[in-house]
């Protein structure tokens, strides 16, 4: 909606007034006491459109919080149940994903995203990996995620691709010093206490 930028600028800890279309931005959603309700990534998809990725366990809490604080001409559309996300991480991620979507992804820089096609469906291709490695996250309609999984393992075979779960990701983010909601971030810990002042624009 036409009020989305003003709405999110009030909701998030980062200033997004200067966020360009095609950019992604890490930010925090805080409670009135300054504690962190969640950390999110905001993708500026179009003039009046943002995609927010929240932690799955906090989805309903954040949806309710957004609904309570909604102001101006803004519509909320929860696509969680229709969408899957697979993260391809590591130094060869670009080659693997480029091969699958059949497009050059080198112009997609860190914390930007693009759109692509997979089996006739539009997918979002973001480069915001939470592992400390380079990587791409592929947002795909649920009905295509099994096909994408098989294609990733098949195409990635020559690059030594291996499936890994969130436990492996957790070790990598610890090495990088990245916070994880429920550990370094909670509703009782402010971004400043967590050492995340660079993601808080006090002005």
Q: pLDDT value at position 168?
A: 85
pLDDT at 178 over 90: no
What is the rounded distance in angstroms from the CA atom of residue 156 to the CA atom of residue 163? 10
Domain ranges of the chain: 3-79+179-199, 83-163
Average pLDDT over residues 74-88: 96
Determine the topology of domain 83-163 in CATH: Gyrase A; domain 2 (3.30.1360)
pLDDT tens digits, 105-148: 999 999 999 999 999 999 999 999 878 889 999 999 999 999 99
The total of other beta-carbon atoms located within 10 Å of residue 86's CB is: 16
Residue 80: band (very low, low, confident or very high) from pLDDT cuts 50, 70, 90: very high
Full-prediction pTM beyond 0.85? Answer: yes
**Cα distances (Å, whole numbers) of residue 1 to 9, 39, 72, 74, 119:** 14, 23, 9, 4, 30
Long-range contacts formed by 165-172: CB under 8 A, 24+ apart = 169/87, 169/89, 169/130, 169/131, 172/89, 172/131, 172/132, 172/133
Q: pLDDT value at position 74?
A: 97
Residue 100: band (very low, low, confident or very high) from pLDDT cuts 50, 70, 90: very high
Domain range 3-79+179-199, CATH architecture: 2-Layer Sandwich (3.30)
Strands 113-118 and 121-126: antiparallel
For the ranges 64-73, 129-138, 161-170, the one whose mean pLDDT is highest: 64-73
Q: How many residues can be counted in the chain?
A: 203
Domains 3-79+179-199 and 83-163 agree in fold: no
């Amino acid at each position: 909606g036409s009020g989305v930028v003003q709405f999110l600028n009030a909701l998030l800890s980062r200033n997004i007034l200067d966020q360009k279309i095609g950019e992604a931005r890490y930010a925090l959603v805080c409670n009135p006491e300054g504690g962190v309700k969640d950390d999110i990534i905001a993708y500026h998809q179009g003039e009046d459109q943002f995609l927010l990725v929240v932690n799955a366990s906090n989805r309903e809490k954040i949806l309710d919080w957004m609904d309570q604080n909604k102001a101006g001409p803004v519509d909320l559309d929860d696509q969680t149940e229709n969408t899957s996300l697979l993260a391809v991480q590591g130094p060869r991620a670009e080659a693997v994903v480029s091969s699958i979507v059949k497009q050059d992804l080198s112009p997609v820089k860190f914390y930007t995203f693009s759109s692509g096609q997979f089996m006739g469906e539009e997918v979002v291709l973001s480069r915001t990996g939470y592992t400390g490695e380079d990587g791409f996250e592929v947002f795909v309609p649920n009905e295509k995620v099994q096909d994408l999984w098989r294609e990733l393992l098949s195409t990635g075979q020559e690059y030594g691709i291996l499936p890994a779960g969130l436990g492996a990701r957790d070790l990598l983010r610890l090495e990088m010093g990245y916070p994880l909601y429920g550990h370094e971030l909670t509703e009782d810990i402010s971004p400043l206490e967590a050492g995340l002042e660079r993601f808080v624009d006090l002005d």
